[in-house]
Amino acid sequence: MPQTLAERELTSEGPRRGAGVAKGRRSVTVNLGESPLTWLHARGHLSDRQFAAGERLRADWERAQLAPCVTMKWHPVRGGGGGLSPAERQIAAKARFDGAVAMAGPGLADILWRVVCAGESLPVAEKGLAWPVRSGKLVLRLALDRVADFYCLG
User: Which pLDDT score, from 0 to 100, does residue 81 have?
Assistant: 55
- Do 113 and 127 belong together in one domain? yes
How many domains does the structure of the chain reveal?
Answer: 2
Q: Same domain for 42 and 5? A: no
Nearest to 31 by CA among 60, 57, 5: 5
What residues form DSSP beta bridges with 16? 9
**What Rg value do the Cα atoms of the chain yield, rounded?**
18
Q: Are 47 and 107 within one domain?
A: yes
**Whole-number pLDDT of residue 123:** 92
In a domain, 73, yes or no: no
**Cα three-residue angle 7-13-15, rounded to 5 degrees:** 10
Helix residue ranges, H only, 3-85 = 36-42, 48-63
CA dist., res. 23 & res. 9, Å (int): 10
Per-residue pLDDT of the chain (154 residues), as tens digits, is 567 777 767 655 555 555 555 666 777 676 666 789 988 998 899 999 999 999 999 999 988 988 776 666 666 655 555 677 888 889 999 999 999 999 999 989 999 999 999 989 999 999 999 999 889 999 999 999 999 999 999 8
Confidence at residue 138, expressed as pLDDT on a 0 to 100 scale: 95
Residues 17 and 57 in one domain: no
Write out the residue range of the structural domain in which residue 23 sits.
1-34
Neighbours of 148 (CB within 10 A): 23
H helical segments located in 34-113: 36-42, 48-63, 86-104, 106-112
Whether 140 and 117 share a structural domain:
yes
